[in-house]
Chain A
Amino acid sequence: SQKIEQNSEALNIQEGKTATLTCNYTNYSPAYLQWYRQDPGRGPVFLLLIRENEKEKRKERLKVTFDTTLKQSLFHITASQPADSATYLCALNTGGGNKLTFGTGTQLKVEL
């Protein structure tokens, strides 16, 4: 069966450390993968997109990797801040056009 798995347990880290979130998938061959941030009571907000032929993408303190052999993406936030506390969702392009399938998300809490 097709699955997208993110760590369902919340990730608590100390301010200034690097947060690493994992997205694993099975039985998909996505052309690209995206990461979104979702705050309570709000809709998801797009952060980064990485294509199947890219290994790594960076944007400011964010870095995402994509390993199509392992079927895994890692999402890193360096020098984390309390304002980074949110739920982070990975999303795979799983069909023609723009069809996205989302993981269930990982809640990140950055403590002082």
Chain B
Amino acid sequence: DAGVIQSPRHEVTEMGQEVTLRCKPISGHDYLFWYRQTMMRGLELLIYFNNNVPIDDSGMPEDRFSAKMPNASFSTLKIQPSEPRDSAVYFCASSTGTDQETQYFGPGTRLLVL
């Protein structure tokens, strides 16, 4: 299996621009998670989906952030407009419905907002 796939791996953008991060979970996994990691705050859960439905978005920092999962094999995290404080590494993770506690992480997208 290819594992969780994220794109792009690196993104540099200017403040005010829209940023879209993409994730393809492991085939057959029912849960998908978006995390953000910074030196100051560590790894934080932003939102997670079960069977394409958002279950908990309490970690989404503000209305500038939105996430969608139109089908079982694709999810996006969008930031509009982006700000320098959004600079971080964004991880996507997935897990199965049976072994649901174990989360499998993608390689992350390193975002820099200038």
Contact = CB atoms under 8 A, between A and B. Distances in A.
Given A43-B91, A45-B105, A49-B101, A99 B48 contact: yes
A103 B42 contact: yes
Nearest to A99: B56
Given A43-B93, A43-B107, A99 B101 contact: no
Q: Is the interface of B mostly helix, strand, loop or mixed?
A: strand
A95 B56 CA distance: 9
A42 interface: yes
Contacts of A96: 55-56
Interface residues of A, number: 22
Interface residues of B, number: 23
Contacts, number: 57
Contacts of B56: 95-97, 99
B25 interface: no
Nearest to B105: A43
A28 interface: no
A41 B10 CA distance: 11
A96 B45 CA distance: 13
A43 B102 CA distance: 14
Interface of B: 4, 31, 33, 42-45, 48, 50, 55-56, 91, 93, 95, 100-108
Given A43-B4, A46-B103, 14 more contacts: A34-B102, A41-B108, A42-B108, A43-B105, A43-B106, A43-B108, A95-B56, A97-B50, A97-B55, A98-B95, A99-B48, A99-B56, A102-B45, A105-B42
28 contacts: A32-B101, A34-B102, A41-B107, A42-B108, A43-B91, A43-B105, A43-B108, A44-B91, A44-B103, A44-B105, A45-B105, A46-B103, A49-B101, A49-B102, A93-B101, A95-B56, A96-B55, A97-B56, A98-B31, A98-B95, A99-B45, A100-B33, A100-B103, A102-B43, A102-B44, A103-B42, A104-B42, A105-B42
